[in-house]
Amino acid sequence: MDKQSFRKVSKLDFLTNPSSTDTKEVQIGCLQRIADAVEKMAETYPQLIKDRDYYRDRYAANQKEIGTLRRQIISLKGVITKLNKKK
């Protein structure tokens, strides 16, 4: 039996007709389907790594900008306070 037919056999509901399928064939087919699914999931892994790195870098840049803006706000509050005292 070829690999493709093992996969097909493993998809069948062999519990309704157990005599028509060999348990080994079903196990092999199941393992092949699991391997196919894992390979499919692994295809997107490099993109996930790129996305993670991008968002990590964006987070760091945004945190730096937030710090800068907070210092500007504190500075401007100080300027407002000085101007209010001059009145």
Cα–Cα distance between 1 and 19 in angstroms, integer?
Answer: 17
**Residue 6's pLDDT is what?**
61
Sign of CA dihedral 68, 71, 75, 80: positive
Domain ranges for the chain? 1-43, 44-87
**Residue 27's pLDDT is what?**
78
What are 14-62's pLDDT values in tens digits? 555 555 556 777 777 788 888 889 999 999 999 999 999 999 999 999 9
**Residue 2's pLDDT is what?**
54
Tell me which H or E stretch contains 66: helix 45-86
Q: What is the mean pLDDT of residues 63-81?
A: 97
